[in-house]
Amino acid sequence: MKPLYMKIKDREYEDNQELDKESIEWLKKQLGLKKEIGSLDITPMKEKTLLQYVPKESWFNSDRIKTIHGVSHALRVMMYSYILCKIYKIDRVEPFLVAASIHDIKRINDRKDINHGKRASEWFYKNNIMIKNDFSKEEIKEICLAVEGRDSKLKIDSILKSADALDRYRLPRRKWWLKKELTPFSIPNKIINFSKHFTIWTEEEILNGKDPLKAILDLAKKCNLITD
């Protein structure tokens, strides 16, 4: 089958786009990944905090879980949101984790899909009771605004946009990668470099058969970003 990076090169943008081993090899070469991921020296998150907000398969449209906007993307954006919260000294990370978890769950394709944020926001507004929920009304509103791509007082929108951008190294086209001048926050190079490795290495593990949550938890623990 034609690998995703070739389809993208030939401008064949399918509804559901999934990574494959050849595209990962292409990405590794283009990104010039090293053997070591480097340490970020950030207070680790408790595993149970992350687990409370992991997106459930049933939240996605059923054929979209393995796509480039599927569960592995959501989990990594949660991790990158956590890292950015710690860097910008935000203690209450839970609303940021939820926004990251749900931001792409209602996509119907991997192209622009301009209304996907609004659909996710409306879904969350109706269904937030299903999620471990100690959020205030204000926080629920802020999460909805951020997922829709609108400014939020808590800055969930800025962290979400930056975290989402850090996961762009999964996309097999150079011009779609993170552009420093377009992120709402200045992101240290160390974090950008970390995200290149974390993104590709977890995708590689998943393509080798590992469960996405396990792949992301295992590497996050190894990097001391998650603790029991």
Residue 25 or 123 having the CB closest to Fe ion: 123
Q: At its nearest, how many Å lie between Fe ion and the CB of residue 39? A: 26
Please tell me the distance from the alpha carbon of residue 150 to that of residue 142, in angstroms, as a whole number. 9
Residue 147 or 219 having the CB closest to Fe ion: 147
Please give the structure tokens belonging to residue 148: 């829709």
Rg (the chain; Cα; Å): 16
Residue 63 or 138 having the CB closest to Fe ion: 63
Q: Which residue is nearest to Fe ion (CB)?
A: 164
Residues near Fe ion (CB under 5 A) are 104, 164
Q: At its nearest, how many Å lie between Fe ion and the CB of residue 77? A: 6
Q: At its nearest, how many Å lie between Fe ion and the CB of residue 221? A: 24
Please tell me the distance from the alpha carbon of residue 158 to that of residue 164, in angstroms, as a whole number. 10
Q: At its nearest, how many Å lie between Fe ion and the CB of residue 4? A: 17
Q: At its nearest, how many Å lie between Fe ion and the CB of residue 99? A: 11
Residue 185 or 221 having the CB closest to Fe ion: 185
Amino acid letter for position 83:
I
Residue 20 or 164 having the CB closest to Fe ion: 164
